[in-house]
């Protein structure tokens, strides 16, 4: 669930924030973002998760809301120390991050919080809503790059009246404007449908049954966005256990590498090589540049290069040639082909996989390691 929600609220660790003192700051923030904003809320209420990500410095930097300023708040040009009074605050005492160029309103977070985090691209919002939401979140920023913490900076905020998805937000609201947007988005019916489909697409099928998505959305609305309840609806559904959902999902590179190491009883003393292998297969961890995260569908991972990479990794792992990883090769000693297949797959191989393995082993004295590498590289092992 942490993997799913981090990907949903994606932050790219490789992004360099424009201001010099914040270069590579996301490298320092990414652990806190996953630990403090994502992990505590994955089985809680969606609204709490949405608010935690919105306020975390990693998200504020990644989608540039930290420098979003109400239009007309400042004179043209840079505002630096000793510039006088800004909304009643002596500018000479403003913290470092506020001593930047006044870039004006930034719509990045206002757009992505609706398109990717809540409503979905077809969720019913307009460009006017994007602007209004961005105005509501002006002043949601970071106090100090040296010790990044969320702060509401009132002198950056747009205190005018806004209209978001038909809801009037009165003038003078301050930080409450952003909190009201969080509440509106978390309770919007499009959010219930979008989040439910995303979950079903991750755990059931690339094209999940609409009836299942509808029931999950009903649970979302009925329970005030209780994610545990939504998951219970999904995991206990007949669709989840249906023939069409069984092994219908292709493992991501992350899932494939981790499951292969586990299947081989591997012990990891240095994960750097595994991280690189996952990146080589197309999924650099914490490093998806675009805010939409990695795809939940298998099509993105179905390429000749990707599948060959998985087979090569399987052979290297079984042979003990992945630095930092020690596999339990003794667990395979003396076992026949069928037993090795059951050990690694948790079941008997499919007739198609069995035929392919038998063809590869034809006429040779097959050692357990060779059998294991063929099983780990097989289509059966690539699916979950």
- pTM for the whole structure: 0.89
Q: What is the mean pLDDT of residues 157-165?
A: 97
pLDDT digits (tens, 9 = 90+) for 17-73: 655 455 578 888 999 999 999 999 999 999 999 999 999 999 999 999 999 999 876
What is the pLDDT confidence band of residue 79, given thresholds at 50, 70 and 90? very low
- Dump pLDDT digits (tens) for 89-113: 434 334 454 554 456 999 999 999 9
Amino acid 222: pLDDT: 98
**Residues 311-340, mean pLDDT to the nearest whole number:** 92
% residues pLDDT > 90 (the chain): 74
List the single range of 71-85, 161-175, 191-205, 322-336 with lowest mean pLDDT: 71-85
Q: What is the pLDDT of residue 156?
A: 95
Mean pLDDT of 360-378: 89
Q: Quick one: pLDDT at residue 14?
A: 85
- Does the pLDDT of residue 250 top 90, yes or no? yes
Which of 40-44, 75-79, 148-152, 307-311 has the weakest average pLDDT? 75-79
Determine the average pLDDT of the residues in 319-341: 90
- pLDDT average, residue stretch 293-308: 90
State mean pLDDT over 208-237: 97
Residues 138-150 pLDDT 10s: 999 998 777 789 9
Question: Left if phi > 0, otherwise alpha if psi is -120 to 50, otherwise beta: which for 274?
Answer: alpha
Average pLDDT, the chain: 89
Tokens at 53, concatenated: 């990500």
Which pLDDT value is given to residue 161?
97
Residue bearing the bigger pLDDT, 147 or 304: 304
Q: What's the confidence (pLDDT) of residue 22?
A: 54
Considering only residues 242 and 50, tell me which one the structure prediction assigns the higher pLDDT: 50
């Amino acid at each position: 669930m942490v993997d799913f929600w981090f990907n949903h609220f994606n932050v790219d660790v490789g992004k360099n924030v424009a201001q010099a003192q914040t270069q590579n700051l996301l490298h320092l923030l990414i652990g806190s973002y996953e630990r403090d904003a994502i992990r505590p809320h994955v089985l809680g209420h969606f609204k709490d998760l949405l608010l935690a990500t919105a306020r975390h410095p990693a998200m504020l930097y990644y989608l540039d809301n930290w420098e979003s300023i109400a239009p007309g708040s400042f004179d043209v040009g840079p505002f630096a120390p000793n510039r006088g009074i800004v909304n009643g605050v002596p500018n000479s005492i403003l913290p470092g991050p506020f001593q930047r160029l006044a870039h004006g309103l930034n719509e990045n977070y206002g757009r992505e919080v609706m398109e990717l985090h809540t409503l979905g691209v077809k969720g019913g919002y307009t460009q006017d809503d994007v602007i209004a939401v961005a105005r509501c979140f002006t002043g949601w920023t970071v106090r100090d790059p040296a010790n990044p913490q969320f702060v509401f900076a009132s002198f950056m905020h747009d205190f005018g009246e806004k209209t978001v998805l038909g809801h009037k937000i009165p003038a003078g609201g301050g930080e409450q404007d952003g909190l009201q947007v969080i509440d509106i988005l978390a309770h919007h019916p499009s959010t219930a449908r979008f989040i439910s489909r995303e979950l079903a697409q991750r755990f059931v099928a690339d094209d999940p049954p609409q009836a299942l998505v509808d029931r999950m959305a009903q649970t979302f609305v009925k329970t005030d966005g209780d994610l545990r309840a939504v998951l219970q609806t999904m995991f206990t559904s007949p669709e989840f256990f249906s023939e069409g959902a069984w092994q219908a999902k292709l493992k991501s590179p992350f899932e494939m590498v981790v499951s292969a190491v586990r299947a081989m009883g591997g012990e990891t003393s240095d994960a750097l090589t595994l991280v690189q292998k996952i990146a080589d297969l197309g999924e650099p961890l914490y490093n998806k540049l675009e805010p939409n995260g990695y795809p939940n569908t298998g099509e993105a991972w179905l390429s000749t290069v990707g599948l060959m990479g998985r087979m090569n990794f399987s052979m290297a792992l079984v042979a003990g040639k992945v630095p930092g990883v020690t596999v339990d090769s003794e667990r395979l000693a003396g076992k026949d082909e069928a037993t090795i297949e059951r050990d690694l797959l948790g079941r008997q191989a499919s007739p198609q996989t069995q035929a392919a393995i038998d063809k590869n082993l034809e006429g040779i004295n097959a050692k357990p390691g060779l059998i294991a590498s063929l099983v780990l590289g097989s289509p059966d092992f690539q699916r979950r």
